[in-house]
Chain A
Amino acid sequence: MNGSITPLAIFFASIFTGNILLTNYLGMCSFLSVSKELKTSTGLGVAVIFVMATTTPLNWLVYQHLLIPFGLEYLRFIVFIIVIAAFVQLTEMTIERYSEPLYQSLGIFLPLITVNCAILGVSLFMVIREYSFFTSFLFGLGSGIGWFIAIIAMAGIRQKLRTAKIPPGLEGPGITLIIAGFMAMAFMGFSGMIALS
């Protein structure tokens, strides 16, 4: 247990100071490719929040009650991925069946993020940092919100950039990565508030 910070602090820290995307650079691929449009970014961001907030405690249960008792901690990579994939698939099917508007705005993005490394990353951090069940949930939720904030900020910037003159060699991923770097530095400004171990 990490006694020095409260679960609430971890929640806020995972949004700002320990932003999964900007401090660990996880989940970059979909961040770079989808951040062109604010609307699609929002959809993807919400999907990430949902999946992180649900799969992290789910994986906590699997880890604590299945892997640890059998001494199989080293299998966590493969087990976490299977659990995430199955859960996302089930959620997509459910949404598709029962809510047309929700499927339009969220469901269609779910298959895209099954293999998002940020999602697996959050589950693995939860293990390394020895969070409790409740803290894991808050950590997953916070990380999702952090990813969401980062991608909509980027989408907003990229929409403004459309009319800007960018040197041809830097167009596309080039300028996006540079901006992501600036954003990461800006988020570092929060580090005085709370620190994530």
Chain B
Amino acid sequence: MITSLLVSIGIISLISVFLAILMVIADATIGNYGIVKISVNDKTKEFEVEGGQSLLRALNQEGVFIPSACGGRGSCGLCKVQVIEGAGEYLPTELPWISEEEKKQNIRLSCQVKAKTDMAIVIPEELFYVKEYSTVVESIKDLTHDIKEVRLLLKDPPSITTKAGQYIQFEVPEYGDLDESVYRAYSMASPPGDSTHVELEIRLVPNGICTTYVHEVLKEGDPVTINGPYGDFFLRETENNIIFIAGGSGMAPIKSILLDMEQRGIQRKATYFFGARSKRDLFLLDKMRELEEKMPNFKFVPALSEPLEEDNWEGEVGLITDVVRRMVEEAPSSEAYLCGSPGMIDACIKVLHELKVPEENIFYDKF
């Protein structure tokens, strides 16, 4: 009995060891592509990486984070990168994600393309500043009945360089029925001046993976991994008047921009239209009033679409589009920054067009 057990264990081990040795040898010979050079953005940066791994991983090791929601399995199609040379033909695993237009520009999925020879690629400049940060939850507060403010303290690296209005990706670890971590994007509500913290405003979406996690599982003191910053939703350096429009947790990037304006002493004329259903959906009113006092050219206009009787609401009433149409002045010389649901943004952009806000002056962040 014992002998047969030992023999069987021995034989299985023998086979496994033999095959493992074979694999190690193969990896060191057949799988060894040596060091390959990756030249980024016409040689502004050059990396020497170990060949044979995916472009996504190779760049990752050099500290360049390409946004990727699935973690490199070719199932999200986010990690697109323009490869000028060295990628070979398109792989069948890439084709579902690549349009005809992108094919002409040699846009590839960086998680599928392997760095086997020297390569030349083009990536947006801002991705050089994207890093992964380990953080801890410093506080979680209820802003409304369904929006929580999560304040993260950065640990490693200890500070982040952002532009007000940008977003980060939040890693949701395995919990409940979720058997692999996923990433979700959230705008930062904290200003760039507060470089040691990242503040998020997260509204509970029924059955949302990340929002449920944040609302029901996450506690103060818990570790959270984020990466970023991403996005081109930030204040342009002009002298134009500013129209901000937001709804719900669309507050976050606008708040970041406003705090940044205050800290940097930007005195441009700005009006912030915030749409909500009833009074219980409004939040940070005190903060906004405080900003109005500090910045004489800033005006906060909350508007309720369906105020309840007990709200005793004396402010603006109506859909945010109607309020904007009614109140915006000097539209042709204004810039507009919008953040909210796609429905709200599309409706507001239509109104802004009617008011003759130039197309190139409208910036938005849909979620």
Q: List, in ascending order, chain A residues with CB within 8 A of B8's CB.
A: 70, 72, 75
Q: List, in ascending order, chain B residues with CB within 8 A of A43's CB.
A: 92
Contact partner of B7 (CB less than 8 A), chosen from A72, A94, A97, is A72
Q: Is A67 close to B, CB under 8 A?
A: yes
Q: Is B23 close to A, CB under 8 A?
A: yes
Q: Is B161 close to A, CB under 8 A?
A: no
CB <8 Å contact, B15 and A66: yes
Distance of A100 Cα from B27 Cα, bound (Å): 18
> Given that A71-B4, A79-B15 are contacting pairs, would A100 and B89 also be in contact in the complex, using a CB cutoff of 8 Å?
yes
CB interface residues, A 81-98, toward B, < 8 Å: 82-83, 86, 89-90, 93-94, 96-97
Q: List, in ascending order, chain A residues with CB within 8 A of B123's CB.
A: none
Contact partner of B15 (CB less than 8 A), chosen from A62, A71, A100, A108, is A62
Q: Chain B residue with minimal CB distance to A74?
A: B8
CB interface residues, B 49-102, toward A, < 8 Å: 88-89, 91-93
Q: Is B16 close to A, CB under 8 A?
A: yes
Q: List, in ascending order, chain A residues with CB within 8 A of B27's CB.
A: 93
Q: Is A193 close to B, CB under 8 A?
A: no
CB <8 Å contact, B22 and A90: yes
CB interface residues, B 285-315, toward A, < 8 Å: none
CB interface residues, B 1-52, toward A, < 8 Å: 4, 7-8, 11-12, 15-16, 19, 22-23, 26-27, 30-31
CB <8 Å contact, B11 and A72: yes
Contact partner of A100 (CB less than 8 A), chosen from B11, B22, B88, B92, is B88
Q: List, in ascending order, chain A residues with CB within 8 A of B88's CB.
A: 100, 104
B77 → chain A closest CB, angstroms: 17
Q: Is the interface of A mostly helix, strand, loop or mixed?
A: helix
B184 → chain A closest CB, angstroms: 28
A-B contact count (CB 8 A): 52
Contact partner of A82 (CB less than 8 A), chosen from B7, B15, B30, is B15
> Given that A43-B92, A75-B11, A75-B12 are contacting pairs, would A94 and B30 also be in contact in the complex, using a CB cutoff of 8 Å?
yes
Q: List, in ascending order, chain A residues with CB within 8 A of B22's CB.
A: 86, 90
B178 → chain A closest CB, angstroms: 24
CB <8 Å contact, B30 and A67: no
Q: Is the interface of B mostly helix, strand, loop or mixed?
A: helix
Distance of A94 Cα from B25 Cα, bound (Å): 12
Q: Is A116 close to B, CB under 8 A?
A: no
Q: Chain B residue with minimal CB distance to A95?
A: B30
CB <8 Å contact, A93 and B16: no
Q: Chain B residue with minimal CB distance to A71?
A: B4
Distance of A84 Cα from B84 Cα, bound (Å): 38
B109 → chain A closest CB, angstroms: 13
B351 → chain A closest CB, angstroms: 40
CB <8 Å contact, B31 and A83: no
Q: Chain B residue with minimal CB distance to A87?
A: B19
| Chain A contacts to B: CB under 8 angstroms | 40, 43, 62, 66-67, 70-72, 75, 78-79, 82-83, 86, 89-90, 93-94, 96-97, 100, 104, 108
Name 15 extra pairs, CB < 8 A, besides A82-B15, A86-B22, A104-B91. A40-B92, A43-B92, A66-B11, A70-B7, A70-B11, A72-B7, A75-B11, A75-B12, A86-B19, A90-B22, A93-B26, A93-B30, A94-B26, A104-B92, A108-B91
In the assembled complex, 24 residue pairs joining A and B whose CB atoms fall closer than 8 Å, in A order, are A40-B92, A43-B92, A62-B15, A66-B11, A66-B15, A70-B11, A71-B4, A71-B7, A75-B8, A75-B11, A79-B12, A79-B15, A82-B15, A82-B19, A83-B19, A86-B23, A90-B26, A93-B27, A93-B30, A93-B31, A94-B26, A100-B88, A104-B92, A108-B92
